[in-house]
Structure 1
């Protein structure tokens, strides 16, 4: 066996073992708990978008850190396969907003159960006027 083939085989074996060792983030589900979103964010480079489907005043007052206001989202600039977590004032409003995104062609939309209150209950980070006043 040539030296190049031997090196290629060593590299190939190492890659196979790394695939077994390196965990992958859990898959998104149609409904997600605040804790599951927090765990997903702890993966470092989550590759997801958090959308706030409440009104602008509520969004400006306090929101999940890094979230975007639904009315400001340009559906054409977000890849259809991007993981999206959406929340609102009630789970029903969030479900409707999630359904709208799915109908627009988004493949991985999770409705965040409990909304902002659920997020704050697990000490999730927030930002906005109220969050900075604390």
Structure 2
């Protein structure tokens, strides 16, 4: 343990499955080297999504990720269900992405804790 970690809590490295609290801890820490990917359809994304997430629908996921994200980038992915999230993470890993976390319970868990969201529905609440 280095001396700084005694004073500045450093978030744990990315794991295959991640809680929303772990992601929020990284965001609060100021970790810039991550991307949050929402694989739901654009209508659902536009309605509400995790603040800072990018929309890459499932049918475009691998092609757009390869075009825009480094293979070593930390990626937190979520979908409509944990099954869709797991499928998206599996597709990214098969494409060569090394650091992919399935955000467990996705947007529902994020909203249940009261973390910030964006979108048309978020603006109305």
TM-score, with normalisation over the residues of structure 1?
0.80
Q: Provide the aligned length of Structure 1 versus Structure 2.
A: 119
| Structure 1 residue 64 corresponds to structure 2 residue 47 | no
Matching residue within 95, 106, 121 for 1:115: 106
Which of these two proteins has the greater Rg computed from alpha carbons?
A: 1
Instruction: Give the match for residue 18 of structure 2.
Output: 32
TM-aligned CA distance change 1:48 to 1:92, over 3 Å: same
Structure 1 residues not aligned, in runs of 5+: 1-15
Structure 2 residues not aligned, in runs of 5+: none
Provide the secondary structure at the position in 2 that maps to 1:54: coil
Distance across 2 between alignment mates of 1:39 and 1:17: 20
Distance across 2 between alignment mates of 1:80 and 1:128: 28
How well do the aligned residues superpose, as a CA RMSD in angstroms?
Answer: 1.8
TM-aligned CA distance change 1:124 to 1:102, over 3 Å: same
Distance across 1 between alignment mates of 2:8 and 2:45: 37
CA shift, 1:25, in A, is: 2.4
State the 4+ residue runs in structure 1 displaced beyond 4 angstroms: 16-23
CA shift, 1:79, in A, is: 1.1
TM-aligned CA distance change 1:88 to 1:75, over 3 Å: same
Instruction: Give the match for residue 101 of structure 1.
Output: 92
Tell me which moved more, 72-81 or 101-110: 72-81
CA shift, 1:91, in A, is: 0.2
